[in-house]
Structure 1
Amino acid sequence: MTTEQNEQAQDLQQEQAESQTAQTQAETEQTDVSVEDLQAQIGKLEESLKLEKARTANAVYEAQKSVERIQRESDKHKDTVLEKFAKELLDSVDNLERAIQAAGEEETPVLEGVKLTLKSLLTTLEKFGVVEADTQNGFNADLHQAVGIDPNAKANEIGTVLQKGYTLNGRLLRPAMVMVGA
């Protein structure tokens, strides 16, 4: 009986050894196949990563362009609003200048107050880029509007300024209405 048991134990060990050998061979074959599969997967993942990086770069580029476009539109809108506001204030400047002219030579506290108000308003306008158009260096069709001929002025020279002109950050806000020599 012991011999039979020993034989059975040996048979069992042989079967287990054969099974382990077969399993090791299968794992080796599976490992070879797995390495190839893994390399293929790595290649696919690298391609996918390149595609996603390109998509991300494109999205970042589009976002930057959108921000720049919105900024340009905002600046343009701000300039338009500032231009409209400044044009409306120019009427007040004109009225204050007319009040000073109408007062004549007599210095009164009211006239002094009007002059100070005009000076304050012009200073505020200058802070925001509104400046008086130059009328000292001859007629310039880009800055001046000729509304008549001044017989006392030289040709192409400004004789009389009927209404001052103004520019906003270098752009014409309102042309100066002038009389020009012939």
Structure 2
Amino acid sequence: MQDQENQEVSQQPELDTAAAAATEAAQAGAGQAGVPPAGESDLEAQLSATEAKLAEMHDAFMRAKADAENIRRRAQEDVSKAHKFAIESFAEAMVPVRDSLEMALKVEVQTVESIREGVEMTLKQLSAAFEKNRLLEVMPQAGDKLDPNKHQAVAVVPSEQEANTVVTVLQKGYMIADRLLRPAIVTAAAPK
């Protein structure tokens, strides 16, 4: 029994020490409740900086989005204008040709030579207008290889030429730059 009392007495100081330590910790925590730990103020500063950067990035994004929308709208307007005024250059080149034809009709006394001279001058104007606007003739020569991308054979005729070559040109063809507008109408040599 005395052993039991000795144990109780020896445990009492340990309990008093543990209770005192807990009380001190509680008081220390309560005393610092109004003061944030050192790491918390750093987090608040980082949060503020991140929020400011986010606002800046959002503003930059909205500006870039508006710029992209403006560029898209301007491009659509440019395409619309290009479609609407696509033949403007060609029309400008054709107006003098029309003027020449109208002036030729106003001449009261015409001779065959004056008519021929006027037609030749008008044809030169027309050819210059075609050249300026890259409207090119497709005029194959007799003996040229038949090109189905540029020529349309309407007849195959016996000939001394190699097969599938142009014999005669019935009508010139035309190209706009690299695009075929109208194929040349030709007759082709028949296979022997």
TM band (smaller chain)? 0.5 to 0.7
Contact 1:158 1:181 in 2 (8 A): yes
Contact 1:150 1:160 in 2 (8 A): no
Q: CA deviation at 1:65?
A: 4.0
Q: 1:126–1:59: structure 2 CA closer, same or farther, 3 Å change rule? A: same
Q: 1:159–1:76: structure 2 CA closer, same or farther, 3 Å change rule? A: farther
Q: 1:141–1:163: structure 2 CA closer, same or farther, 3 Å change rule? A: same
**Equivalent residue, structure 1, for 2:130:** 125
What's the secondary structure of 1:135's corresponding residue? coil
In the aligned structure 1, how far is the partner of 2:158 from the partner of 2:121? Answer: 35
Contact 1:165 1:176 in 2 (8 A): yes
Task: Give the letter aligned to residue 63 of structure 2.
Answer: T
TM-score (structure 2 length as normaliser): 0.54
Gapped runs of 5+ residues in structure 1?
Answer: 1-28, 93-106
What's the secondary structure of 1:142's corresponding residue? coil
Q: Does 1:178 align with 2:176?
A: no
Q: CA deviation at 1:121?
A: 0.6
* Correspondences of 1:10-89 after superposition (within 5 Å): 40-72=47-79, 74-75=81-82, 81=87
Gapped runs of 5+ residues in structure 2?
Answer: 1-34, 98-111
Q: CA deviation at 1:36?
A: 7.8
Task: Give the letter aligned to residue 46 of structure 1.
Answer: K
Which has the greater radius of gyration? Answer: 2
Question: Which has the larger share of helix?
Answer: 1
Q: 1:117–1:150: structure 2 CA closer, same or farther, 3 Å change rule? A: farther
Greater CA deviation, 151-160 or 59-68?
A: 59-68
Q: CA deviation at 1:132?
A: 0.3
**What is the RMSD computed on CA atoms of the aligned residues?**
3.6
Q: How many residues align?
A: 132
TM-score (structure 1 length as normaliser): 0.56
**Equivalent residue, structure 2, for 1:142:** 149
Identity %: 29
